[in-house]
């Protein structure tokens, strides 16, 4: 059995099993695919694939299903991630355009990705630790109370009411805010303290004390930025795929509830030259996800947070990879322009 034909027969089995949800036999392959060989030859090819651990018989029928190893070979031999259709791209743009803020953008993103793939969709929040300062705002709420707002280039917004020891009026606060803004824009959030020190040191002595207090408030915003968390949608699709799980679906649902599991899994997924990473079955370190696959990619630049989908190993990998990559690229554009 030649390697090209081996891959072609495996591809046909994966595609038929994903589409028809039932074990695939040699006659079905001959009828549905132009493989150029007889049914007897296909049976021999399937036996060789089974010997290689790429397909298996779920019961005594003549049909075969892909194994985790078979799916891995299939995914690894996809030449490239196909582009989405114009209609799919238009749907992405239509749903994500017009979102009000980061929370709204990410909520729309997971709903969209779930609808495109019929799988559970997840997206990590951007972290301020990887970001740079885009904007700083200071709004006088009362003579000693100031609303501080820190906006990062990831689209993340943090705010808090900060109490200062001395009374301040709007004009003085506005002037100080302009000086803070000029010195902080573009600074890495993780080095906000250093940038603040330079700004405060450049001010007139009469303003340094108040500026230092505002700086402490901004530093607290940076330190208390959102912990690793994610948004999720589409668990109903998982429930509808209950028959794809040989064992109980409960461990998968438990893993979804324990967001730390998925967050760790997404963070540990390696980058792929095609831009989309895939972990299949027992490649997932968490036992509860041993019958699932995860397709994920980063957004918002190098080392950025990730978004992706989770579902049973019997999934349409080419379509899922295309959707994940396209949504991530569009999300990155939105955040870059926000």
Q: 203 to each of 175, 206, 250, 308, 310, how far by Cα in Å?
A: 11, 8, 60, 47, 52
Report whether CATH 1.10.645.10 matches the domain 3-76.
no
Tokens of 139: 């709004």
CB 45 within 8 A of CB 35: no
Rounded Cα–Cα distance for residues 173 and 177 (Å): 6
What fold is seen in the domain 129-223? Enolase-like; domain 1 (3.30.390)
Name the fold adopted by 86-125+229-337: Beta-Lactamase (3.30.450)
**What are the sequence ranges of the domains in the chain?**
3-76, 86-125+229-337, 129-223
Residue 110 has a pLDDT of 94
What is the distance between the alpha carbons of residues 157 and 134, in angstroms, rounded to a whole number?
A: 10
Q: What is the pLDDT of residues 10-33, one digit of tens each?
A: 999 999 999 998 999 988 898 888
- Of residues 24 and 229, more confidently modeled: 24
Instruction: Assess whether pLDDT exceeds 70 at residue 226.
Output: no
Contact 310, 289 (CB under 8 A): yes
Radius of gyration of the CA atoms of the chain, in A: 26
Question: Cα 328 from chain centroid?
Answer: 7
User: Same CATH fold, 86-125+229-337 and 3-76?
Assistant: no
pLDDT at 35: 83
Bridge partners (DSSP) listed for residue 138: 148
């Amino acid at each position: 059995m030649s390697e090209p034909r081996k891959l072609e027969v495996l591809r046909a089995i994966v595609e038929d099993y994903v589409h028809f949800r039932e074990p695939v036999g040699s006659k079905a392959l001959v009828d549905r695919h132009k493989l150029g060989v007889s049914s007897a030859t296909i049976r021999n090819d399937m036996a060789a694939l089974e010997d290689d651990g790429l397909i298996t018989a779920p019961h005594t029928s003549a049909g075969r299903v892909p194994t985790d190893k078979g799916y891995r070979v299939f995914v690894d031999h996809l030449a490239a991630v196909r582009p989405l259709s114009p209609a799919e791209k238009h749907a992405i743009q239509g749903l994500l355009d017009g979102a009000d803020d980061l929370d709204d953008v990410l909520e729309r993103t997971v709903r969209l990705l779930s609808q495109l793939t019929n799988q559970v969709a997840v997206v990590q929040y951007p972290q301020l630790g990887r970001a740079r300062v885009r904007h700083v705002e200071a709004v006088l709420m009362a003579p000693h109370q100031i609303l501080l707002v820190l906006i990062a280039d990831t689209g993340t917004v943090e705010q808090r009411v900060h109490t200062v020891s001395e009374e301040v009026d709007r004009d003085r606060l506005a002037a100080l805010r302009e000086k803070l803004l000029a010195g902080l824009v573009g600074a890495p959030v993780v080095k906000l303290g250093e940038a603040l020190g330079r700004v405060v040191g450049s001010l007139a002595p009469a303003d340094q004390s108040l500026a230092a207090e505002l700086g402490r408030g901004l530093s607290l915003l940076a330190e208390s930025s959102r912990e690793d968390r994610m948004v999720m949608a589409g668990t109903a699709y998982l429930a509808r795929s209950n028959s794809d799980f040989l064992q109980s679906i409960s461990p998968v649902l438990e893993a979804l509830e324990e967001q730390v599991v998925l967050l760790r899994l997404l963070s540990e997924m390696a980058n792929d030259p095609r831009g989309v990473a895939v972990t299949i079955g027992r490649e997932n370190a968490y036992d509860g996800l041993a019958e699932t696959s995860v397709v994920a990619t980063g957004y918002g630049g190098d080392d950025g947070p990730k978004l992706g989908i989770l579902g049973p190993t019997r999934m349409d990998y080419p379509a899922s990879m295309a959707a994940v990559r396209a949504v991530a690229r569009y999300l990155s554009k939105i955040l870059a322009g926000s």
